Amino acid sequence: MTRSQPAGSADEFVHPALFYEGSEGYLAGTVPFVLDGLAAGEPVAVAVPGSRLQLLRDALGEKAAEVKMLDMTVAGRNPGRIIAEVLRAAADPHPGVRVRIIGEPIWPGRSAVEYPACVQHEALINLAFVGRAVTILCPYDIAALPPVAIADALATHPEIVEAGHTWSSQYFAPERIIASYNQPLGQPQEPRLLAFGRTQLREARHAAAEHAQAVGFDEDRVDDVVLVAGELAANSARHGGGAGTLRTWVDDVYFVCEVEDAGNLDDPLAGRRPADGHQLSGRGLLVVHHLADLVRVHTRPGGTTTRAFFRL
């Protein structure tokens, strides 16, 4: 059965994928979504790559001023920060009102190392917004994206919008996607290595700083690396058996900081929820996602590896 647009009850989360081709298909699927939301008095936000953002802004004309607009290549360059800093930031200020969001985290040009984090993010949206009066429309360029991205979109979205019709995806299985992309991250080539315990957290931060300086990062970016290394090492000390291994290396266009420990990360949304204003601890992974350009995690019984990537 098909219908003209996604539906949702007052407290139901709605998460359709928009399959489109070309600028005309993009506008046909997004502009009515925005205008219908504004007409209904619903807050509307758009977070898409810059070229698409300008396309929408031009098509909306004066109405664009009523929409919160973000360039997803900036706000969501690390997919792990999108839920907290883009989607929840748009939805949370409006309790009791349905909020509409267009979020495009997967676009042509996303690298192979980024893609697993992107598709895991799309799956995790379904957990993060259970019972919320939010509609998040996720555009997919079916003419330019590889077939695996379209197949994964069918698994991470319960509904698909295509050519003006909405249909239910029989392949919807977000938990399967979360699990299937939780894969070993591979061995780095010739990393700098430091084993640390609870009393060597300072040494771990110093080692990360020294290597970040050596690759030419400025003072602010070195500080970011130190904060990330420190938070990951502290998490290992608290939750990972009291010890871990820090590795840093340069890989392609990234400086990479990795911490491996004996803990098991059993909360897939850890680090992806906004911090409560009164929260005094538990912000470590949120800080890591905020500062890094990409975060990849592999967790299994008896061990977790977290990799933070910083563009050179």
Superfamily for domain range 6-180: P-loop containing nucleotide triphosphate hydrolases (3.40.50.300)
What are the residue ranges spanned by the domains of the chain? 6-180, 192-311
Tell me what pLDDT residue 2 has: 43
d(CA 7, CA 14): 7
pLDDT, tens digit only, all 312 positions of the chain: 344 455 556 679 999 999 999 999 999 999 999 999 999 999 999 999 999 999 999 999 999 999 999 999 999 999 999 999 999 999 999 999 999 999 999 999 999 999 999 999 999 999 999 999 999 999 999 999 999 999 999 999 999 999 999 999 999 999 999 999 999 999 998 999 999 999 999 999 999 999 999 999 999 999 999 999 999 999 999 988 999 999 999 998 999 999 999 999 889 999 999 987 665 456 799 999 999 999 999 999 999 999 999 999
Greatest Cα pair distance in the chain: 61
Residue found by looking up tokens 């040009």 in the block: 109
CATH topology of domain 192-311: Heat Shock Protein 90 (3.30.565)
Residues ≥6 apart with Cβ < 8 Å to 16: 6, 135, 137, 138, 157, 158, 159, 160, 161, 166
Nearest to 294 by CA among 123, 114, 122, 120: 114
